[in-house]
């Protein structure tokens, strides 16, 4: 049974389980696209429409290996979600990628400083998603 939280995934018997990626975006179009991108790389994907729901899921599911989150969302932003994850003793190991349609260097730096794995500009390219997942999950 896969018990590793965040990053590389190995089953208790040494086999590799399918990594579970959580996608967070308030746009239904973007959720559909990121989900499809991740599924075509053979990951198990859960997509939610808010940071609040993401935290609820993270609280219940013991095995999320990676998070992709939009930066600008109503309510809790992707940055606030990142902070909450990194400040939590059980969740901080989970790599978090921030996505944004705005190229704002101060924003990018702030996210990286807060511990984001990477920052992707939207619309995200399949090659960027594949590259990141490969780096983090394998």
Partner 1 sequence: MGKYSSWDFKKRDHDAKVNMNGDASVQVDKRRGRICEHADICKGYLDDQFNQIEELQDEVSPNFVEEVVALFFKDSSRLLANIERVLEKYPRDFSRLDSLMYQLIGSVSSIGALRMKNECTSFRDHCSDGNLEGCKRSFQKVKREYTTLKQKLEKYFQWLRQAGPVEQATNSRK
Torsions phi, psi for 118 (to 5 deg) = -165, 175
Give the shortest CB-120-to-partner 1 separation in angstroms: 13
Give the shortest CB-77-to-partner 1 separation in angstroms: 13
Residue 95: which of 114, 123, 121 has the closest Cα? 114
The residue within the footprint of partner 1, chosen from 9, 24, 33, 91 (CB under 8 A), is: 33
Q: Which stretch binds partner 1 (CB under 8 A): 2-10, 26-34, 84-92, 105-113?
A: 26-34
The residue within the footprint of partner 1, chosen from 12, 15, 16, 39 (CB under 8 A), is: 39
Q: How far is the C-alpha of 25 from the C-alpha of 9, rounded, in Å?
A: 24
The residue within the footprint of partner 1, chosen from 4, 27, 46, 63 (CB under 8 A), is: 27
Q: How far is the C-alpha of 114 from the C-alpha of 92, rounded, in Å?
A: 11
Give the shortest CB-36-to-partner 1 separation in angstroms: 4
Sheet of strand 96-100: strand arrangement: 44-48, 20-24, 66-70, 96-100, 118-121
The residue within the footprint of partner 1, chosen from 125, 131, 134, 135 (CB under 8 A), is: 125
Q: How far is the C-alpha of 109 from the C-alpha of 16, rounded, in Å?
A: 34
Binding residues for partner 1, rule: CB under 8 A, are 27-30, 32-33, 36-37, 39-40, 72, 101, 122-123, 125-126
């Amino acid at each position: 049974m896969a018990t590793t939280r965040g990053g590389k995934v190995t089953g208790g018997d040494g086999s590799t389980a399918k990594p579970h990626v959580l996608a967070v975006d308030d746009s239904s179009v973007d959720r559909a696209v990121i989900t499809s991108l991740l599924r075509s790389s053979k990951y198990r994907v859960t997509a939610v429409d808010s940071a609040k729901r993401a935290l609820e899921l993270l609280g219940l599911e013991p095995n999320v290996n990676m998070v992709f989150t939009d930066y600008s969302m109503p309510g809790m932003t992707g940055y606030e979600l990142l902070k909450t994850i990194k400040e939590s003793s059980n969740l901080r190991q989970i790599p978090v990628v921030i996505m944004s349609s705005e190229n704002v260097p101060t924003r990018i730096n702030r996210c990286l400083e807060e511990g984001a794995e990477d920052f992707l500009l939207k619309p995200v390219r399949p090659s960027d998603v594949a590259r990141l997942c490969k780096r983090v999950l394998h």
